[in-house]
Amino acid sequence: MSLPMAEQPHLPLFEDWSPQMGIADCGDSDWTPPRRTTCGKLPIHPGAMGIQFGQSVFEGCRAFWNGADPARLFRIDEHYSRLVTSCERLRMPVPPEQLFVEAVANQLQDATSWSSPFPSDTLYIRPVVFGQDDHVMPIPSARTTFVVLTAPLRLFPREPLVLFAEREFSRAAKGGLGHAKTSANYAHQYLPTWRAKEAGCDAVLWLDAETHERIEEASTMNIFMVIGEELVTPSLQDTILPGITRRSVITLARERHGLKVVERPITLTEVAEAIEDGTLTEAFTASTALQIRSIARIVDRERNIDFPQETPWMDRLRRDLDAIQRGEADDEWGWITEVPVL
């Protein structure tokens, strides 16, 4: 059985969720076994912590299936570790790792997850944990629900991105939630993203909250730049989400290709100067949903920073990552968990 990716780039990445979902509940620190049910509405009080006060965290994972062999789940242990960090930041019960992996695997094992609402060889996986207790005040919830949703992915255009340098709003401040994958980290972006679209850009380039000069992220993506003989990416701190694809790119660059990777602060001024003197030769983003995409331009007020069109390092790293994820190259780091599809 072959499941080619639906080639309709004018449509969004997601059209709808798979027909089934996994679910487990926690009360008094005891988790129920994961069960599967029809994907749809859940009974939840409108005063629940997950709605009223944003006590909600999630992950974004990815799996691949060629229609014959077992499905290939990518770096699920790293996603679980990041979920633990997010739950701890919001004082939420953490699903046990075995329960987490079982619930994800149950979704992958069901062939209808890959074929409905349209067939695809790539499955996006969204584990969610949210507080169910309803209080007037923001009190950590003792009753928690864990849900695993999946959605087939469409092919998306790989045209270079145009980013809007956001100098008024901020994604995160030091001591905040920037390193955790919480719902609050995404609610802030609606207005800035609208402003970016109005300016003819694809996504927001987030800068640091103090000076609005240091580069941090691009919407839901980490950033890389080839400057001289180095692959440079903003150093992780609690204002930047530690991306799983980011980590994979760093490993591939260092260990497979011997490229020097430097994690350090990088400013828009440095980028513009490096473009001018020719030392910055590539720029690209990395994320689970969008994978690896080049950057064509940064729109910064009245200034446009245009990047070179040739991206040999990015192309090489993207091919490497695709090949490992799809079983076309050796998985030398043990990133893949195989799950039989029934």
Chain segment 233-272, per-residue pLDDT in tens = 999 999 999 999 999 999 999 999 999 999 999 999 999 9
Domain ranges in the chain are: 20-152, 161-325
How many percent of the chain have pLDDT more than 90?
Answer: 89
Whether 107 contacts 20, CB under 8 Å = yes
CA distances from residue 79 to 21, 245, 258, 299 in whole angstroms, order as listed: 18, 11, 26, 32
- Grouping H, G, I as helix, E, B as strand and the rest as coil, residue 117 is coil
Q: Give the DSSP per-residue string, 255-318.
A: IIT--EEEE---BHHHHHHHHHHT-EEEEEEEETTTEEEEEEEEEETTEEEE--S--HHHHHHH
For the domain spanning 20-152, the CATH number is 3.30.470.10
pLDDT score of 16: 87
Q: What is the pLDDT of residue 14?
A: 56
Q: Tell me the three state secondary structure of residue 333.
A: coil
Convert the pLDDT of each residue in 108-158 to its tens digit: 999 999 999 999 999 999 999 999 999 999 999 999 999 999 999 987 778
The full DSSP string for 201-263 is -SEEEEE-TTTS-BEEEETTBEEEEEETTEEEEPPP-TTS---HHHHHHHHIIIIIT--EEEE
Tell me what the mean pLDDT of segment 289-316 comes to: 95
CATH number for domain 161-325, candidates 3.30.450.260, 3.20.10.10, 3.40.50.300, 3.40.50.2020: 3.20.10.10
Task: Give residue 72's identity as a one-letter amino acid code.
Answer: R
Q: Letter for the amino acid at 304?
A: N
285 touches 205 (CB < 8 A): no
User: Rounded to the nearest 10 degrees, what angle do helices 76-89 and 97-109 cross at?
Assistant: 130
